[in-house]
Amino acid sequence: MTSEIPVYNPATEEIIARVPMMSRETIREIIGRTYDASSEVMAIPAYKRSKLLKEVARALRDQSDELARLLTAEIGRPIRSTKLIIERTASIYELAAQEISHVFSGEFVPLDLYDYPPGNENRIAFVVREPVGLVGAITPFNFPPDSMAHKVAPALAAGNSVVIKPSSYAPLTITRIVNIIKQTGFPQDAINVVTGDAKEIGDEFVDNPKVSLITFTGSSSVGLSLAGRAVAQGKKVIMELGGSDAMIVLEDADLSRAAQAAIIGRFDYAGQFCNATKRLLVRDEVFDKFVGMLADMAFNLRVGDPLREDVDLGPLISRDAVKLMDLFVKDALDKGGKVLFRYKEVPSKGFYYPPTIIEATRDARVLREEVFGPVLPVVRIKDDEDAVRVANSVEYGLDASIFTRDFARAYRLASKIKAGSVFINDTTRLRFDNLPFGGYKKSGIGRESVRDTMREMTETKVIIQSLI
């Protein structure tokens, strides 16, 4: 009998499904079949790949309510947002359908522009893109369908096949979407899903020469170790990793707007976003007024059953995640921090954690590590240099945001902050699927946008023709 992995509903602690714990042989066999299908995908004309991707988007919209409920059940994200997530996912497939014409436009280069090597007046060149072959994709628990879309849509658009490994916490929506893609007319083995021991699947992606590129979204520790080994095997990698985004509130900011952005930035989906606002840096002059506004807004958050339309925050993904929040808070208090706000009561069943705001000392773990839950550390800053120093003091560099009415000052600060995106007067918790997304330092390698990813998922080939 094959062993299985239970999948829990984090809001009820009940097992809602089981997925196979595949053996290494099964994983290898699936990689082999998917690799064989890559030549079939490659042979589909570009206009048809574009049509099929639009078909995937249509099928996702047709099944949107069912997919949103399944997603809420497996990751505990409130239903209001999971409906939007399915719409976003559909639009990523549409974006990939459109981008095919940009990425595969090709280039003709008359070589007589250069006098070296001699004889160039009798040569011309073509620069073309070709699919890499088989893509190995690994997704995190927190946004399965859209993270999958950022990998699978560009991979198929570029003419590759894909093996996807979802998080063991969240394999259900992804498996359902893989079946939807199979039904839209792509070859049966253009995409397959593997479930099982994460390390074993990662090792197989690295060691198996049939996998040409690994695209990973998840924690920095896992991603960087995987990337190092994959690159040593000559594979391409795209790594979207952790973050500890800072939000800077200057003394001339619109404090009400800034407080709303911080609340959404930290507490949406219980803070389980790579680009959640994980550190709040506030000018001394407005600190007390600002944290008062924050506490009032946090008081009005609705925590509870994520299937209810009026709920803002559901549970964390696991019991371990809840325990980790307690450790972070304890460490912050032991180091001299103080609790500024703690939510009244959360359901006792399910992996809930009360939204908490802490004035933290600079050596607290909450200001140095990635906190993946509803704990918001706030720290006082004295001037712009201090703000930049604290913002840059972590090993991550995903997003940051600055609240001020002075655009020139915001721009100067933005250019000194080491982060992949800097928002001015907006929350960090935004992502635009047509813009490059990714980070400095341990937040990633490369950038994901549908167009950037499609380029990365192709090889560039130069064909040089001698005219004699």
Q: Name the residue nearer to ligand NAD (CB basis): 84 or 464.
A: 84
Active-site annotation holds for 240: yes
Chain residues that interact with ligand NAD, rule: CB under 6 A: 138-143, 165, 167-168, 198-199, 202, 217-219, 222, 226, 240-243, 274, 370, 372, 398, 444
Please give the angle made by the CA atoms of 110, 113 and 116, to the nearest 5 degrees: 110
Q: Name the residue nearer to ligand NAD (CB basis): 22 or 222.
A: 222
Give helix 79-103 / helix 46-62 axis angle, nearest 10°. 170
Q: How far is the CB of 171 from ligand NAD (least distance, A)?
A: 9
Q: How far is the CB of 109 from ligand NAD (least distance, A)?
A: 35
Active-site annotation holds for 370: no
| Residue 354 near residue 299 (C-beta atoms within 8 A) | no
Q: How far is the CB of 239 from ligand NAD (least distance, A)?
A: 8
Residue spans of beta strands (DSSP E) within 31-149: 107-110, 123-131, 134-138
Residue spans of beta strands (DSSP E) within 360-457: 375-381, 396-397, 399-403, 421-424, 440-441, 444-445
| Residue 267 near residue 301 (C-beta atoms within 8 A) | yes
Q: How far is the CB of 28 from ligand NAD (least distance, A)?
A: 15
Q: Name the residue nearer to ligand NAD (CB basis): 193 or 381.
A: 193
| Residue 82 near residue 93 (C-beta atoms within 8 A) | no
Q: Name the residue nearer to ligand NAD (CB basis): 50 or 208.
A: 208
Q: Name the residue nearer to ligand NAD (CB basis): 129 or 278.
A: 278
Which residue carries 């409906």 as its tokens?
83
Q: Which two tokens stand for residue 60?
A: 């996702």
Task: Tell me if residue 48 falls in helix, strand or coil.
Answer: helix
d(C-alpha 268, C-alpha 429), whole Å: 9
Residue nearest to ligand NAD (CB): 202
Task: Tell me if residue 451 falls in helix, strand or coil.
Answer: helix
Task: Using DSSP bridges, classify how beta strands 396-397 and 440-441 pair: parallel, antiparallel or unpaired.
Answer: antiparallel
d(C-alpha 428, C-alpha 234), whole Å: 34
Q: Name the residue nearer to ligand NAD (CB basis): 116 or 432.
A: 432
Q: How far is the CB of 457 from ligand NAD (least distance, A)?
A: 16
Nearest alpha-carbon partner for 39 in 149, 165, 132: 132
Q: Residue 133, Cβ neighbours under 10 Å: how many?
A: 20
Q: Name the residue nearer to ligand NAD (CB basis): 143 or 290.
A: 143
Q: Residue 54, Cβ neighbours under 10 Å: how many?
A: 17
Cα atoms in the 13 Å half-sphere on the side-chain side of 422: 20
Q: In what helix (H) or strand (E) does residue 217 lie, and over which residues does it extend?
A: strand 213-217
Q: How far is the CB of 262 from ligand NAD (least distance, A)?
A: 18
Q: Name the residue nearer to ligand NAD (CB basis): 35 or 437.
A: 437
Q: How far is the CB of 274 from ligand NAD (least distance, A)?
A: 3
Give the 3-state secondary structure percentages of the chain, helix then strand then coil, rounded to 5.
Answer: 45, 20, 35
Q: Which two tokens stand for residue 442?
A: 């341990």
Nearest alpha-carbon partner for 60 in 89, 19, 30: 89
Which residue carries 């989906």 as its tokens?
269
Q: Name the residue nearer to ligand NAD (CB basis): 218 or 314.
A: 218
Cα atoms in the 13 Å half-sphere on the side-chain side of 80: 13
Task: Tell me if residue 77 falls in helix, strand or coil.
Answer: coil
Among 55, 74, 99, 274, the active-site one is 274
Q: How far is the CB of 140 from ligand NAD (least distance, A)?
A: 3
Among 99, 204, 240, 448, the active-site one is 240
d(C-alpha 340, C-alpha 356), whole Å: 8
Nearest alpha-carbon partner for 238 in 18, 452, 388: 452
Q: How far is the CB of 417 from ligand NAD (least distance, A)?
A: 17
Residues with a known catalytic role: 240, 274
